[in-house]
Structure 1
Amino acid sequence: MNRSVISDLWYKMVHSGSRMNFFIGINTIVFLFFAVVNVVEFLFRMETGIIPFLKINLALPAFMPSLLYKFWTLFTYMFVHDGLFHFIFNMLALYWFGRIFEDFLNARQFTFTYIAGGIVGGLLFILFYNVFPGYKDSITAATVVGASACVMAIIVATATLLPDYNLHLLIFGSVQLKYLALIYIVIDVIGMAGLNAGGAIAHLGGALLGFVYIKQLKAGNDWSKTFHKKPKLKVVHREKVAPRFTNDIPEQEVIDRILDKISQKGYQSLTKQEKELLFKASNKNEE
């Protein structure tokens, strides 16, 4: 691969400021590592044991005795995928919904939603398998991998923020986000009794996090700020100057009205001035 192409991809992943690109990049690197090892083992008819070892130690187990000495798997499981289609579907969904998410919220909020969605999804998976009798016979062998819970958190968060935003699909045409999210949730509820019950439960945990987080954000409680390091205050002595007032950054009430308009009529209904105000507010949040 051309070095400039690799450099360009690295820049988009690390330096573009997009957390969507960053998390897609991390998932892609991990997936390609597993794929390359698998191809090498096949070509040379060798069994290194690397893939089974990594999957055992990176996948999240539901069995508590196993989880106690693999506590890190609550984080690592969300970056490991089981198969090509599992990886592709997750990354496509993350790209489609992540772009919309980043248009209206900042990088810190994206990171929080992704990571917290994965953690809540993993915890719900563990809880269900240890509480409900239906999973008793399979609990010792039950594990879950994949970014699906994280992606569901982004999907539902975006749909909760912009329920009437239209996404254009190849086959179905224009569909509002709230209906897409609802379809995902219904499929996962049904899947709780299926072959991938653990994955379905984790998806629902991510969805729950995404929904509650945006509801709290609209109420003025930004949970992502918990992990935001505040700069130290410095005392600076300078000459007194007349205070300046600027209208460059819109007030929260204006932003709330714009978001309400998007929820009711869609993003395309905004005027050019409203889009500029929203863009300025987004840039302010990233500072």
Structure 2
Amino acid sequence: MGLYDRDYGRQERTAWDRIENPRSITIILIVVTVAVFFLEILFQTTSTVRIPGAGDMQVKTSPVADWLAVYADTLYKPWMWWQFLSYGFVHDFQKIFHILFNMLGLFFFGRIIEQKLGQMEFLRFYLVAIVFGGIVASITNLITFQIAGVQASTIGASGAVVATVILFACHYPHQQIYLMMVFPVKAWVAAVLFVAMDVAGALGLMASMGSSGNTAFTVHLAGAAFALVYFFQRWNLRFLSPGALTDIPARMRDRSRRMKIKLHDPDKKLEKEAEDADRILAKIHQQGESSLTAAERKVLERYSRRQREKRNQ
């Protein structure tokens, strides 16, 4: 072991120093989102709309955005539920800052959270945040339609990006970040400000201050809520992976056999416990402690307690 391999020989690393793999899920998500943005521009159309008292107006639309957006009626049309995911990859092609700010936030914070959670877990986290935000958006649009009679749609990755930023603040609350790339603040302070602004926006207070009424504040709040629950409940979404889903029938059959035949074999049980502990420790080394499920934590605690009892005998 060299001098700089020892703990006291290492420099303290910040959250920004943890980015080690430039080819990441975050970059892939950005590339896909930007590709959809250019498809919107490529297939844009212009139509004439007559507005009472204002005459004719040229309006630009894109069938790509219209097709992928989430609507109020998406909620009660199961064959359209894929829109709960697709809307998160669509942005307003007439406002470059919409996609620019979202992708900058995803680039700076997503790569760090990806290193913390692991590539596939971060992908699951991001996509579930989009879906949860899409359901909230559909409910919000439905309420808006019933109150004001206005048919609304929702697009954009803002909810999932907010979820990523909030999760970053949970893991690195004292990390300094720059609001608007100018003002240095702690990550937890920025998170509180973002949530407070979204709450104000959802209550209609931001409109009185000149903020755009097109911002999906409720979707932002949905992303923030999902990130907070994910962090404090120590969730792990590995059960949503394709391999885990295909293993469900086999696990159910195995559990059924174990319920029918219960054999008491202490040595085998101890060996199994030791193997599970080794596997969990290897997982901590590769993906970090936050990747553990509640069941894995209990196994590790039980194994640690048993080892202490053996040493005290």
**Normalised TM-score (structure 2):** 0.60
Displacement of 1:202: 1.0
State the partner residue of 1:94: 106
Let me know the Cα RMSD of the aligned residues: 4.0
State the partner residue of 2:238: 224
1:203-227 Cα offsets, whole Å, 9 max, x none, are 111111111112222xxx4133332
Displacement of 1:201: 1.0
State the partner residue of 1:215: 232
Measured in 2, the distance between the counterparts of 1:224 and 1:180 equals: 29
Structure 2 gaps of 5+ residues are 1-20, 47-58, 251-273, 292-313
State the partner residue of 1:196: 213
Displacement of 1:65: 8.0
Give matches, 1:130-169, under 5 Å.
130-131=142-143, 136-140=147-151, 142-168=152-178
1:66–1:197 CA distance, 2 compared to 1 (3 A):
farther
Equivalent position amino acid for 2:186 in 1: Q
Displacement of 1:130: 3.5
Residues 60 and 122, structure 1, Cα contact 8 Å, conserved in 2: yes
* Sequence identity (%): 25
Measured in 2, the distance between the counterparts of 1:225 and 1:177 equals: 30
1:161–1:59 CA distance, 2 compared to 1 (3 A):
same
Residues 63 and 139, structure 1, Cα contact 8 Å, conserved in 2: no
Displacement of 1:166: 2.2
Secondary structure of residue in 1 paired with 2:177: strand
Secondary structure of residue in 2 paired with 1:196: coil
With 143-152 and 93-102 compared, the bigger mean Cα shift is at 93-102
Displacement of 1:161: 2.2
1:198–1:66 CA distance, 2 compared to 1 (3 A):
farther
Displacement of 1:138: 4.3
The ranges of structure 1 where at least 4 consecutive aligned residues each deviate by more than 6 angstroms after the TM superposition are none
1:122–1:99 CA distance, 2 compared to 1 (3 A):
same
Displacement of 1:87: 0.5
Displacement of 1:162: 2.2
Displacement of 1:29: 0.7
Mapped pair 1:26 → 2:11: no
1:86–1:118 CA distance, 2 compared to 1 (3 A):
same
Residue correspondences, number: 224
Measured in 2, the distance between the counterparts of 1:29 and 1:64 equals: 24
Equivalent position amino acid for 1:98 in 2: G
Residues 250 and 281, structure 1, Cα contact 8 Å, conserved in 2: no
State the partner residue of 2:67: 57
Measured in 2, the distance between the counterparts of 1:196 and 1:224 equals: 37
1:185-213 Cα offsets, whole Å, 9 max, x none, are 12212222245366111111111111111
1:106–1:52 CA distance, 2 compared to 1 (3 A):
same
Structure 1 gaps of 5+ residues are 1-14, 42-48, 234-243, 256-276
